[in-house]
Amino acid sequence: MDKGKKRSAVLVGCNYSGTQYELHGCINDVRAMREALVGRFGFEEGQVEVLTDEPGSPVMPTGANIRAALGRMVDRAEPGDVLFFHYSGHGTRIPSPRPVFPFKKGEAIVPCDFNLITDMDFRHLVNRLPKGATLTILSDSCHSGGLIDKEKEQVGPSAAPALRGGSGTSLPSSAAPKHIPFQALLQHLSSLTQITTSDIGTHLLETFGAEASLRFRLPPLEAASFGPLKSDEGILLSGCQANETSADMSPTAAEGGKAYGAFSNAVQTVLKEESERKLSNREVVVRAREVLRKQGFEQHPCLYCSDENADESFLGQHDDEEDGVPC
């Protein structure tokens, strides 16, 4: 590994325990990813920050806390550094607030306090990276395709035909979508603000103020012009297409018993199957698609990044190999 490069990660798992939106595998997903980062990809334990909503967690994965952790990681980054964000939890889609684009929707993740982090927030983080540093986002959530606003699609519904159909088997009864419908979000936030409006931005700004997403704090024209820089080092591996859901699995004891996110588990399967060689970002996504197809899932992971980064190794693993660090 190049000794001048740092590797830093923020891992977030939200199970929403005790709520009607409860999931079961998200915390397990980030624990498994932490082991892979340290054991295979050369991340130091002190450079991996984990936020979960399990009881007794010292820092809950609220919108403000996740943004703060990501902001610290980007602020500390230097040219050439490898940054990674893994999220496992609910996702949602947000209607456009502008009447001229009634069918356009944005993508967002749903922290434990419902203070949404949107595609525009992730675009802002990528635009802040120092030259040569990369930020890889792996989001195991519904509607995660396009989670970095205006990022170029490399594997997805436009760049490559989606794989249709599964293996002919039905999904296990333990599968649940990692999705909170927009109307449910609106109803929850309305109960907090007691304001009668269908504009979710109004509710988020009233509840969270300056800690709300940039999508709702920026004037509409400024938000519309918020795009990628020429040197774009954002890399998104999404668990599904923007119009799809991602599955959370809660197998019975007879089936193995340990809950997991379908996409996170597929990535771990691919990494274990190819433990002796580096994998490109494109290969990880294509192989994960194949794993999910064989398991019967109707979700199609996607890759969004520059042409160059599509074929770069996932989390820069070739740097480890060149310096003889075990992978």
Task: Report, as residue numbers or ranges, the catalytic residues.
Answer: 90, 142
Classified as helix, coil or strand, 270 is helix
Distance CA 33, CA 44 (A): 13
Angle, nearest 10°, between helix axes 281-294 and 262-273? 110
CA pair distance 30, 53, nearest whole angstrom: 12
Spatial separation of the C-alpha atoms in residues 318 and 57, rounded to whole Å? 35
Single-letter amino acid code for the residue at 120: M
Tokens describing residue 140: 């195991």
Nearest to 70 by CA among 132, 115, 8, 150: 8
How crowded is the C-beta side of 84, counted as CA atoms within 13 Å?
28
The phi, psi pair for 244, rounded to 5°, reads -115, 170
Name the strand (E) or helix (H) holding 293: helix 281-294
Do 234 and 148 form a contact (C-beta atoms < 8 A)? yes
The residue type of 320 is D
Tell how many helices (H) and how many strands (E) occur in the chain: 11, 13
Task: Give yes or no for a contact between 85 and 69, defined as CB atoms under 8 angstroms apart.
Answer: no
Contacts for 275 with CB less than 8 Å, ≥ 6 apart = 40, 327
The answer to whether the CB of 45 falls within 8 A of the CB of 80 is no
Whose structure tokens read 């989670």?
Answer: 147
